[in-house]
Amino acid sequence: MKKVQALPPLGMDKAAIDQDFRRHLGHTLGSVEAEAESRELYEALALSVRDRLMERWKATRVAHETSGNKRAYYLSLEFLMGRALGNAMLNLDMEKSVKEALYEYGLALEDIENEEADAGLGNGGLGRLAACFLDSCATLNLPVVGYGIRYEYGMFRQEIQDGAQVEEPDHWLRNSYVWEVQRPQDTRHVKFGGRSEFYVDSNGASRVRWVDTEIVLAVPHDTAIPGYENETVNTLRLWKAAASDAFELGEFNAGRYPESVANKNEAEHISMVLYPNDSSENGKELRLRQQYFLASASLQDVLAQWVKNNGANFDSFAEKNCFQLNDTHPSVAVAELMRLLMDDYELSWDRAWEITSSTMAYTNHTLLPEALERWPVSLFRKLLPRVVDIIFEINARFLQQVAKKWPGDNERQRRMSIIEEGHEPQVRMAYLAIAGSFSINGVAALHTELLIDGLFRDFCELWPHKFNNKTNGVTPRRWIASCNPELRELLDSTIGDQWVTQLDQLDKLTDSVNDKKFRADWNQVKLNNKQRLAQLVKQDCGVEFDTNSMFDVQVKRIHEYKRQLLNLLHVVYLYNRIKKGQIDNWTPRSVLIGGKAAPGYVMAKQIIKLISNVAQMVNNDPDVGSKLKLAFFPNYRVTAMEVICAGTDLSEQVSTAGKEASGTGNMKFMMNGAVTIGTLDGANIEIREEVGDDNFFLFGLTAAEVEATRPHYDPQSIISSDEEFAEVMALLDSGHFNQFEPGIFDAVIATIRDPQDPWMTAADFRTYVDAQERAAQAYLDTERWTTMSILNSAKSGKFSSDRTIAEYNKEIWRLADN
């Protein structure tokens, strides 16, 4: 076969881009240039950008494959990527040329960008973290591949009807997705069902094979992950499930042809939809299928590439490969790697275990007990009989180690067992992940401490060396450079442009904090961003925010532990003060709350409805005017946050201490010059450490105080001994906010008075309101606020995901940069 010569590299100047843009419009899309619609314009531009990604992507792939360097794989059920076009143009440094090219046609880049749907393949923090990490890995030139599922339907679209959440399916692939490349040649076979069969191989060794299975095809769809201005383009490989011929044949008979084809669905359902649960496992069979599908396809992919390059010799496999498990969701990978090495490549148990337990690393993202995944052994056995045998064997050997360390301590064996005994025995996925991993990390300093002293205490006593902290971070490319172009320009002209990849450089802003011109510019940038946000709020919520007011924002999933309710109590408190005429020294405020509730989480949905109802009342009361506005932001998502974080003054991070593992929204706000009001929880603690107590509004019980208070927590007496709190509760009780919907908020209101309230909202009410008052006074003092805002940005360097990834690499993956 004659080799094909590659074309010369594509130009990055305006003329070259213009040429390709028109070529794609006319030749690829077949649109009549003069009548092209914005969707076609978007696709033509995206394809022109993609062409430039492609050549760098190929080069990176070849470089990584031929270097023989160690590689890491980020296994995650979620990648919350958002939009790709703006990010690719930024990282390839094409923005200027593209703008110039479009200018000729009178086209605004922003309008074209708005044609792209968010890739919403995640719930919240964990999924967005995976996306930020990929950006940092590419920017640091690390050979890391992301592995996930190509859900046909991502996170649902949230509509608000009569103040309540309604879920609509997110068919994000409907208008063809230009950023993915299907690679059918790398299709893998994933097995389900059937049974284990024992046999003796040609060497007389007894072995197991998994037979009578159903086979589901995993078809990879790759997305390019460009590094920032460094010519590296890494890969995110997402698996789509497809029915295999074998699957059809099992059902096939001439008389039932349509039925047998229709049966393909069962296989294809696996990658149909993202589970919209972010904090409680739901035990659904399809979800376990998804988890195994991802783990098995990805591991097979890595092993196949290994064998292609090295033959079936695994002696140096562990030196060259590392799997990072994003929470327990893909942790069945521990047992699956054992199975593949033993059953497919004929390694002994001990060799396979050596390899598995030195290549797997596990990150925990939550302390909430209800979020800890456990699967019924019976379900596991039905779907994955061979895998469950291996899990039992892992557990038996593991419990021997426990017994050796603590002889006779049966209680401890019971506690630590990977299999939870009982009426319906369960597989504890976190324990499987810990037993099979050489590294276990939390995502902020406090979170890791709480894991070590609490949730994983026994395991930490057994293997202290495995446990470590990696405080989260976010990518400054998307979360400053791309989402806040005016700030980017101001930063570039003040401290140079190195901050984009060395965020610590923001510290240089402290030299300019007293510079009059710089301060004025800073405030102008914030004001412009507030205008942009106010427009979005007007458009999506129908509420007018005055840009002179303080923009007070809480956006994140709706959950009781995150305490949107506490925020709301403060709004009602302010409303009550206005109604009482206590408005001396008033700071006008615009409060924005946004986020999705898990569809089955009744209380979270009631909280949304309560926010909407209070907003109705507050926004339409002539006494209130612009002193106070409240809006619920519908369908909160990555693309919305890009506008929101740039235009925020005050960032609400008010979770019950000890419950928010890290938080990452807090970091995005800080970078963009918002000041935080927050508890000593998650990464807030580290944010406050960096920025100093003067530039952070702290309130609330500490994690230790929360636990110490629990046994004698008495919200009723807290309320009755605080006149203003009592008034707030009385307003809620009176039905003032639900006059035509009697009783609908009774359950929500009752949680505040409940001595068993796990989130202890009442305990922090007074200190919260006082901290809000300090924030309000600080905001009135424009000079003081300006200083606080600048310093928050200046001290946010630690929270770049580049720092986080550098730590993962130095302490866990140990990859050479290429």
| Residue ranges binding ligand 26W (CB under 6 A) | 123-126, 129, 277-279, 281, 327, 365-366, 371, 373, 443, 472, 660-664, 682
- Nearest residue (CB) to ligand 26W, 385 versus 682: 682
Q: Please give the single-letter amino acid code of residue 280.
A: S
Determine which one of 287, 562, 596, 637 is catalytic: 562
Q: Residue 116 pairs with which residues in a beta bridge?
A: none
**Complex with ligand 26W: residue 665 or 673, whichever CB lies closer:** 665
Element (H, E) at 636: none
Q: How far apart are CA 451 and CA 443, in angstroms?
A: 10
Which pair of tokens denotes residue 717?
A: 């007496």
User: Is the CB of residue 170 less than 8 Å from the CB of residue 157?
Assistant: yes
Q: Is 471 helix (H, G, I), strand (E, B) or coil?
A: coil
| Candidate list 530, 557, 559, 803, residue with the active-site label | 557
DSSP string, 787-805: HHHHHHHHT-GGGBHHHHH
Rounded to a whole number of angstroms, the minimum distance from the CB of residue 529 to ligand 26W is: 24
DSSP letters for 67-116? H---EEEEE-S-EEEE-SHHHHHHHTT-HHHHHHHHHTTT--HHHHHTTS
Is residue 668 annotated as part of the catalytic site, yes or no? Answer: yes
Nearest distance in Å: CB 144, ligand 26W: 17
CA distance 632 to 614: 10
Q: Measured from the CB atom, is 232 or 664 closer to ligand 26W?
A: 664
- Cα 685 to Cα 227, 446, 744: the distances in Å are 30, 8, 37
Please answer whether residues 358 and 418 qualify as being in contact, where contact means their C-beta atoms are separated by less than 8 angstroms: no
Q: How far apart are CA 1 and CA 728, in angstroms?
A: 80
Nearest-approach distance from CB 683 to ligand 26W, in angstroms: 7
- What distance separates the 2 farthest-apart alpha carbons in the chain? 90
As given in the structure block, the two tokens for residue 39 are: 């969707």
Dig out the tokens for 809 from the structure: 């690499």
HSE-CB for 168 with a 13 A CA cutoff: 10
Residue 269, SS3? helix
Q: Residue 657 CB, nearest distance to ligand 26W (Å)? A: 13
**What's the min distance (Å) between Cβ of 354 and ligand 26W?**
30
Of 91 and 290, nearer to ligand 26W (C-beta) is 290
Options 478, 668, 688, 798, the catalytic residue? 668
Q: Please, what is the minimum distance in Å from the beta carbon of residue 133 to ligand 26W?
A: 10
Sequence-distant (6+) residues with CB within 8 A of 34 are none
β-pairing, 374-376 vs 419-420, is unpaired
Active site residue 139: no
Q: Which is nearer to ligand 26W, 365 or 629 (CB)?
A: 365
Least separation in angstroms between residue 50's CB and ligand 26W is 29
Q: Which is nearer to ligand 26W, 72 or 352 (CB)?
A: 72
Query: Measured between alpha carbons, how far is 607 from 82 in angstroms, rounded to an integer?
Result: 26
Q: Looking at beta carbons only, is 41 or 129 nearer to ligand 26W? A: 129
Write down the catalytic residue from 240, 556, 609, 688.
556
d(C-alpha 391, C-alpha 388), whole Å: 5
Q: At its nearest, how many Å lie between ligand 26W and the CB of residue 560? A: 13
Q: Is 365 a catalytic residue?
A: yes
Smallest gap from Cβ 139 to ligand 26W, in A, equals 19
Catalytic residue among 24, 188, 365, 374: 365
CA-CA distance, 278 to 251, in Å (whole number)? 37
SS (H, E, C) 283-327: CCHHHHHHHHHHHHHHHHHHHHHHHHHHCCCCCCHHHHEEEEEEC
556 assigned to active site: yes
φ, ψ of residue 13 to 5 degrees: the values are: -85, 170
CA separation for the pair 196, 389 (Å, rounded):
9
Residue nearest to ligand 26W (CB): 125
Give dist(CA 738, CA 744) in Å, integer: 7
- For the question of residue 664 being annotated catalytic, the response is yes
State which amino acid sits at residue 227: G
Instruction: Work out how close the CB of 238 gets to ligand 26W at its nearest, in angstroms, rounded to a whole number.
Output: 18
Residue-wise burial string across 446-463, b where 16 or more C-beta atoms lie within 10 A, e elsewhere: bbbebbbeebbebbbebb
Q: 95 or 281, CB closer to ligand 26W? A: 281
Set 664, 676, 751, 761: catalytic member: 664
3-state secondary structure of 211: strand
Closer to ligand 26W by CB, 124 or 227: give it. Answer: 124
Question: Whose Cβ is closer to ligand 26W: residue 281's or residue 492's?
Answer: 281
For the question of residue 787 being annotated catalytic, the response is no
Tokens (6 digits) for 736: 């003032």
> For the chain, how far is it from start to end, CA to CA, in angstroms?
32
Give min distance, CB of 812 to ligand 26W, in A. Answer: 15
Give me the residue label for tokens 């406090």. Answer: 446
Q: How far is the CB of 681 from ligand 26W (least distance, A)?
A: 9
Write the CA distances from 215 to 249, 345, 463, integer angstroms.
11, 19, 38
Q: Is 166 helix (H, G, I), strand (E, B) or coil?
A: strand
Joined together, the tokens standing for residue 241 give: 């499930």
Q: How far is CA 652 from the centre of its chain?
A: 18
Which residue lies nearer to ligand 26W by CB, 46 or 671? 671
In the complex with ligand 26W, the residue whose CB is nearer, 123 or 290, is 123
List, by residue number, the catalytic residues: 365, 556-557, 562, 664, 668
